[in-house]
Amino acid sequence: MTESDKMKKTVLVTGGTRGIGEATARLFAENGYNTVINYRESCEKAATLEKELSGKGLSVMTVKTDVSDPVQTEEMIKKITVRFGGVDILINNAGVAWQGLTQDMSDSDYRRVMDVNFGGVFNCTRAVLPYMISRKSGSIVNVSSVLGVSGGSCETVYSASKAAIIGFTAALSKEVGLSGIRVNAVAPGVIETDMNACHNEETMHELAECSALMKNGTAQEVARAIFFLAEDSASFITGQTLKVDGNVLI
């Protein structure tokens, strides 16, 4: 780590090689943060992204970790600590989706959705808190979903995992506030990312019509909301869930 890197804050973005995670990682890196990009499977994408950002003189590190595994998560935080000293800002973005009738969901699918979407938030948060508490400073932004607020048919467990994040955010903010740590969440609506690539153009158009703005969101728009909540400009905001959904009408 260079002397310059020591002066910077370090952000960890989970699920940071695509969609909202990639847009968020890029935004932090371009604004001078030591940026750690976590991924589980996208080795080639992670390498390409690291090479691109590092080539611009930005401070970037990629780490392959399944955040649903607490042991792997602890090892990831140790690696980051060796490189940058610790995590000042945590963006819990990693997530998986599952669509179908509840009675058709297997035990393994249920566990995977809950273990990644909520378990990953818990594992990463628990791992970074000692450093943040010791410094009396820190910011955590969790990526939930509007389905965590309103629920979605045929996405019951996904909705439940995202609702758990909202409850966790509100509760943790009260627990760690005296330690100078802020905890917030964003709840994106329909965003044009790989996760929604399963929908055809007609379906995406219909979903856009459910927004008061008559459009779907972009990963960059969500990233800017995350960046705002994470930074000191939102220093008196904690325990909140910001919907980034164009005001879904139904």
Catalytic residues: 158
Burial 25-55 (b: 16+ CB within 10 A, else e): bbbbbeeebbbbbbbbebeebbeebbeebee
Residues 6+ apart with CB under 8 A from 21: 13, 14, 15, 37, 91, 93, 94
Record the tokens describing residue 14, joined without a space.
């989970």
Token look-up 């970074």 returns 128
> Do residues 13 and 80 touch, judged by C-beta distance below 8 A?
no
**What is the Cα–Cα distance from 223 to 231, expressed in whole angstroms?**
12
**Using only C-alpha atoms, what is the Rg of the chain?**
17
CA-wise closest residue to 97 among 185, 24, 198, 17: 198
> Do residues 39 and 14 touch, judged by C-beta distance below 8 A?
no
CA-wise closest residue to 181 among 48, 88, 250, 71: 88
Residues 6+ apart with CB under 8 A from 94: 14, 15, 21, 38, 40, 67, 116, 117, 120
